């Protein structure tokens, strides 16, 4: 496992991390024993970055991480959480000093720590990025010792570019994969200049880029890949990266011949992300140890050739871009 500098924090983190949404909620039934085993397996492979949120299972994901950390020695991983989606309705006013402090206190309790490594605003309204007072409130939480660093999780490139104008923003979490290429242009360039860490979420396009799904694949009622296909519950970009399911399946079949026979499409898709040096860490989810070990193994794959990268870009241009590029 290789490490990359996490922005200006002075920390290094593994380039493959662990996304803990799936062990909290919205990905079908969660088995806690398997979830804890997956976390242990990821950490055993050298993963040093865990990403969670206070709303994943109403804090369940955070508490699972706390349980796993109790029984482990050695260097503690960098644990990132998020705040803001507990609001019944997303408004700028909801990100008050009182709410931010209360959400932070709740995550401190769930994770059983004295200070949170990283708190990310959890896909707040676009207008929030035009309210400096919200970021000043986060600065106060740093001064109080409740959080070490803060960042943002965004839906849109526009939001990412605006967020990094604030000097305290250490990281931006954004959807980035072979089906969501827009961040790689202007935003990546600006983030590198400002030494802002980039966390690539939804790296497998909700599993589409694993190559395991078919037209008749069934998803559980509690899985967002069924209930949020048209954005019924939250931003549709979080589900299959906003790509219509059948369109994504067809594009996957064009990518499949590019995958070497000695690896999996999921590992290949993660290695593709690591080809971008602006990316600090990719955070695939895992609900069992086998998935966690497989994800970590992507870091050991050789670099992809320029020809392969060009072919994937061409597939995006012809098949995917019309559906997603201008939306986020």
CB atoms within 10 A of CB 230: 9
Strand duo 12-14 + 3-5: pairing:
antiparallel
Catalytic residues: 56
User: Which helix (H) or strand (E) element contains residue 4?
Assistant: strand 3-5
- Which of 124, 119, 118 has its CA nearest to residue 84? 124
Distance CA 26, CA 138 (A): 28
Q: What is the pLDDT of residue 31?
A: 87
For 261-274, write each residue's pLDDT tens digit. 889 999 999 999 99
For 71-127, write each residue's pLDDT tens digit. 787 789 999 999 999 999 999 999 999 999 999 999 999 999 999 999 999 999 999
Name every residue whose Cβ is closer than 8 Å to that of residue 169 and which is 6 or more positions away in sequence. 135, 150, 151, 152, 163, 196
Q: What is the pLDDT of residue 26?
A: 62
Distance CA 46, CA 31 (A): 23
Q: What is the pLDDT of residue 121?
A: 98
Indicate if the pLDDT at residue 162 is higher than 90.
Answer: yes
- Residue 276 corresponds to which tokens in the numbers above? 């971008």
Q: What is the pLDDT of residue 24?
A: 85
Angle at 242 between CA 239 and CA 245, to 5 degrees: 80
- Which of 273, 283, 261 has its CA nearest to residue 303? 273
Name every residue whose Cβ is closer than 8 Å to that of residue 272 and which is 6 or more positions away in sequence. 177, 178, 304, 309, 312
- Per the CB < 8 A criterion, the answer to whether 92 and 84 are in contact is no
- Per the CB < 8 A criterion, the answer to whether 35 and 71 are in contact is no
For 124-138, write each residue's pLDDT tens digit. 999 999 999 999 999
In the chain, alpha helices (H): 32-44, 60-70, 97-111, 132-143, 157-163, 186-194, 224-227, 245-255, 265-274, 289-297, 306-315, 321-324
Query: Residues of the chain with pLDDT > 70: what percent?
Result: 99
Number of H helices, E strands in the chain: 12, 10
For 8-64, write each residue's pLDDT tens digit. 999 999 999 999 988 887 666 778 899 999 999 999 999 999 999 999 999 999 999
Distance CA 16, CA 3 (A): 9
> Rounded to 5 degrees, what are φ and ψ at 101?
-70, -40
Q: What is the pLDDT of residue 287?
A: 87
User: How does the average pLDDT of the chain come out, rounded?
Assistant: 95
For 203-243, write each residue's pLDDT tens digit. 999 999 999 999 999 999 989 999 999 999 999 999 999 99
Q: What is the pLDDT of residue 183?
A: 97
């Amino acid at each position: 496992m290789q490490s990359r500098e996490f922005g200006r924090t002075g920390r290094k983190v593994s380039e493959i991390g662990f996304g803990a949404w799936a062990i909290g909620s919205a990905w079908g039934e969660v088995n806690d024993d398997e979830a804890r085993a997956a976390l242990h397996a990821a950490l055993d492979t050298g993963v040093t970055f865990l990403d969670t949120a206070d709303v994943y299972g109403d804090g369940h994901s955070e508490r699972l991480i706390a349980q796993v950390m109790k029984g482990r020695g050695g260097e503690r991983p960098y644990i990132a959480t998020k705040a803001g989606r507990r609001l019944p309705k997303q408004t700028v006013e909801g990100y008050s000093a009182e709410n931010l402090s209360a959400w932070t206190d709740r995550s401190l309790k769930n994770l059983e720590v004295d200070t949170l490594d990283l708190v990310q605003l959890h896909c707040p309204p676009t207008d929030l990025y035009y309210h400096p007072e919200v970021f000043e409130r986060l600065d106060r939480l740093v001064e109080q010792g409740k959080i070490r660093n803060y960042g943002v999780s965004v839906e849109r490139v526009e939001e990412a570019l605006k967020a990094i104008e604030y000097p305290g923003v250490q990281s931006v979490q954004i959807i980035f994969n072979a089906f969501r290429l827009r961040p790689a242009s202007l935003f990546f360039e600006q983030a590198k200049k400002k030494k802002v860490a980039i966390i690539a979420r939804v790296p497998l396009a909700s599993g589409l880029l694993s190559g395991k799904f078919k037209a008749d694949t069934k998803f559980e009622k509690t899985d967002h890949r069924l209930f949020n296909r048209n954005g019924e519950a939250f931003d549709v970009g979080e589900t299959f990266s906003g790509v219509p399911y059948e369109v994504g399946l067809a594009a996957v079949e064009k990518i499949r011949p590019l995958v070497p026979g000695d690896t999996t499409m999921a590992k290949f898709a993660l290695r593709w992300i690591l080809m971008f040096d602006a990316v600090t860490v990719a955070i695939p989810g895992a609900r069992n140890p086998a998935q966690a070990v497989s994800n970590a193994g992507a870091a050991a794959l050789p670099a992809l050739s320029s020809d392969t990268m060009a072919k994937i870009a061409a597939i995006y241009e012809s098949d995917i871009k019309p559906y997603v590029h201008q939306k986020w």
